[in-house]
């Protein structure tokens, strides 16, 4: 019995090593089986997107891009990642993804849509007229670029209404600031703002008010000059 102990220990060690090897091999095989194909990831991504699970869609499409960068589905993944970020109101991430798509595929048929979506990412963040209008300016610039590059495209036509709304917001801001200066009796500064409304923006429904304030400012400035 004593002589057989080393043999038993050796057999036990062999058994444990074998179990570990089979466990590792089994896990590796399981991982391979779990790695989905490009079409499967594309389908899962679209299912998640259409059901409103935009985070899940992004995860599937990111895997598709990483695992199958040369697949014909990779372009779809790039575009839908941007769309999913847009739907999650993650506008900075969406702009980055759309711009990356445009840079990588400048001749792709989806480019008019992509440019329109970039404009929307800025447009959705336009604030009230009393706030900074930088997003309105960027949206306007993007929509105008779209209309210049693709004048006959359907997304160019859709951008027309957005251009008007951007102009209304920017003009409204100058009118708001002009009224503030007028009430503060800074008539030169107010006059400049009201004149900017007339000069820089087409008539978006506030020209009459701007002209009224221009006349008031000019009258106040004349009175100030006469009193000196």
- Are 46 and 79 in contact, with CB atoms under 8 Å apart? no
The b-or-e profile of 187-209 (16+ CB within 10 A means b, else e) is: beebbebbbbbbeebeebebbee
Q: Is there a domain that residue 42 lies in? A: yes
Q: Assess if residue 18 is contained within a domain.
A: no
Domain housing 64: 37-87
Is 59 within a domain?
Answer: yes
CA distances to 44, 52, 60, 64, 100 from 36, rounded to whole Å, are: 10, 22, 10, 9, 26
Q: Angle at CA 21, nearest 5°, toward 15 and 25? A: 145
pTM of this prediction exceeds 0.85: no
Say if 156 falls within a structural domain: no
Whether residue 98 has pLDDT greater than 70: yes
Domain contains 142: no
Handedness of CA 62, 67, 69, 75 (dihedral sign): negative
Condensed to tens digits (0 to 9), the pLDDT of residues 62-76 reads 999 999 999 999 999
Evaluate whether residue 115 is within a structural domain.
no
Asked if the structure places residue 54 within a domain, the reply is yes
Give the model confidence (pLDDT) of 102-123 as tens digits.
Answer: 999 999 999 999 999 999 999 9
pLDDT at res. 29: 38
201 part of a folded domain: no
- Model pLDDT, residue 181: 98
Instruction: Compute the mean pLDDT over every residue in the chain, rounded to the nearest whole number.
Output: 89
Domain count, the chain: 1
Residue 26: its pLDDT value, please? 46
- Do 112 and 148 form a contact (C-beta atoms < 8 A)? no
């Amino acid at each position: 019995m004593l002589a057989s102990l080393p043999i038993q220990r050796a057999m036990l060690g062999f058994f444990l090593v074998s179990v570990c090897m089979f466990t590792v091999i089994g896990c590796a095989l399981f991982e391979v089986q779990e790695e989905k194909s490009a079409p499967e990831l594309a389908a899962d991504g679209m299912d998640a997107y259409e059901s409103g699970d935009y985070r899940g869609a992004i995860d599937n499409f990111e895997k598709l891009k990483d695992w199958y960068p040369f697949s014909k589905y990779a372009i779809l993944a790039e575009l839908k990642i941007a769309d999913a970020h847009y739907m999650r109101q993650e506008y900075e991430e969406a702009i980055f993804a759309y711009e990356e798509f445009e840079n990588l595929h400048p001749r792709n048929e989806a480019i008019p849509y992509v440019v329109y979506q970039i404009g929307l990412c800025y447009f959705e963040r336009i604030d009230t007229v009393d706030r900074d209008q930088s997003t309105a300016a960027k949206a306007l610039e993007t929509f105008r670029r779209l209309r210049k590059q693709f004048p006959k495209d359907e997304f160019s036509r859709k951008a027309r209404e957005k251009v008007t709304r951007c102009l209304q917001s920017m003009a409204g801001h100058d009118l708001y600031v002009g009224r503030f200066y007028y009430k503060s009796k800074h008539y030169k500064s107010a006059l400049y703002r009201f004149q900017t409304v007339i000069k820089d923006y087409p008539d978006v429904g506030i020209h009459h008010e701007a002209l009224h304030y221009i006349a008031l400012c000019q009258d106040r400035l004349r009175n100030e000059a006469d009193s000196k």
